[in-house]
Amino acid sequence: MSRRECLEAVAAALSSGQTFLATTHVRPDGDALGSLTALMLGLETLGKTVHAYTEDAPAAMYHFLPAIGRIGVGPPPPDLGSAVDAAIALDCASLDRAGALRKHLVAAPRLISVDHHSDGVPFGDVRCTDGDASSTAELMMELLVDIMGVGLTMELATCLLAGHVFDTGRFSQSNATPTAFRNAARLVEAGADPEAIVRDMHDTMPLHRLRLKGRALERAEIDETSGLTWSLLSRDDFASLSARPEDAEGIVVDLRVVAGSSAAALISEVKPRECRVSMRSRGDDVDVARLAMHFGGGGHTRAAGCTIEAPPDEAIRLLLQAAREHLAAGPE
């Protein structure tokens, strides 16, 4: 089935329903939240109701997104999954990536999945997965605007452009395809402001987050064997700076710039025996998703994440051990 055909099947499933439960992956990023808010706005334009939830709260850098304040955080009401016409999972390479919301998704009469991870585990009664898409936002744009006929308002364009900007690394990575650039032109013509989106997502942060970033950069180390640059943020760091784990979003990108590294990882201690790891690679020849999957996580070739159930010292040891096995050594 072609991409267009599978998106048309998704459109038919959405058109036949009235009320939906929608979510995305744990620790949602710019593509996940841009796609989710776009879905909310688009379906509401068509007179439908969308109950959107995420397991983790959106980081402050995404608060500019229209409708972001209407996304519930944590589990929905216990019976919501069975009370809707369908559940929708966006940007989830596997059902497990939905975290605790998984059980609510599978309780729905029908499960719809839209994603652009080529190495995931397909799921859903109706699904569209296209690894050639730059982002899930690209698929959502084709679905909502080109197939379902939703008008491209400034608010919808902002959500969709945010997803494109985030997952293409501000249009600097190999997935910044001609289609992604053509979409960007349409979205800017519709009123989306790329300068404001980049400023809010990447170039603005509260002082406590800047100091948190400073601590991570100060502790940066490089493992010469694997080429992994890594750093640690402890629970004490978060507490002393009145910061939350989501404030660490994006810091790993700055670790990736170290000369001689092929990838970067930021380890955030969120509980006594729970460390969240965010990873980025410097090129398509180094697949951090493979490293994340070693610990039950997932993501893209160039951006992935996982959780290691261990205290920081042990998490670092396990991560470096796995990196030496799964990552190519040396610079790109």
Residue 203: how many other CB atoms lie within 10 Å:
9
Residues 130 and 232 placed together within one structural domain of the fold: no
Asked if 182 and 276 sit in the same domain, the reply is no
Q: Give me the sheet containing 72-73, strands edge to edge.
A: 72-73, 49-54, 19-24, 86-90, 111-115, 126-129
List the one residue out of 180, 204, 170, 193 whose CA is nearest residue 66: 193
Domain boundary among 174, 201, 228: 201
Number of domains in the chain: 2
The model's pLDDT over 9-40, given as tens digits with 9 standing for 90+, comes to 999 999 999 999 999 999 899 999 999 999 99
Whether 72 and 94 have beta carbons less than 8 Å apart is answered as no
- On whether residue 331 sits in a domain, the answer given is no
pLDDT digit string, tens, across residues 149-159: 999 999 999 99
On whether both 281 and 168 belong to a single domain, the answer is no
> What b/e readout covers 228-245, taking b as 16+ CB neighbours within 10 angstroms?
bbbbbbbbebbeebebbb
Whole-number pLDDT of residue 285: 85
Average pLDDT over residues 86-110: 94
Q: State residue 328's pLDDT score.
A: 55
| Percentages (nearest 5) of helix, strand, coil residues in the chain | 45, 20, 35
279 falls within a domain: yes
User: Could you tell me if 188 and 217 lie in one domain?
Assistant: no
Q: For residue 245, is it within any domain?
A: yes
Considering the domain architecture, whether residues 241 and 266 belong to the same structural domain is answered as: yes
Instruction: Indicate whether 42 and 118 sit together in one domain.
Output: yes
Q: Are residues 222 and 124 in the same domain?
A: no
At 330, the pLDDT band (50, 70, 90 cuts) reads: very low
Contacts of 180 by beta carbon, 8 Å cutoff, 6+ apart: 134, 135, 138, 164, 168, 171
Identify each DSSP E strand in the chain by its residue range.
19-24, 49-54, 72-73, 86-90, 111-115, 126-129, 221-223, 228-233, 263-271, 274-281, 298-299, 303-308
What range does the domain containing 223 cover?
Answer: 207-326
DSSP annotation of 99 reads G
Where among 145, 172, 201 does a domain terminate? 201
Same domain, 111 and 178: yes
CATH of the domain at 172: 3.90.1640.10
85 falls in which pLDDT band (50, 70, 90)? Answer: very high
Residues 74, 188, single domain; the answer is: yes
Q: Do residue 215 and residue 252 come from a single domain? A: yes
Residue 236 sits in the same domain as residue 129:
no
Are the CB atoms for 80 and 104 separated by under 8 Å? yes
Tell me which of 180, 201, 222 is where a domain ends: 201
Contact 175, 164 (CB under 8 A): no
Q: Strand 274-281 to strand 298-299: parallel, antiparallel, or no bridges (unpaired)? A: unpaired
Q: Residue 224 maps to which CATH number?
A: 3.10.310.30
Q: Is residue 332 part of a domain?
A: no
Instruction: For residue 237, name the pLDDT band (cuts at 50, 70, 90).
Output: very high
Say yes or no: 125 and 81 in one domain. Answer: yes
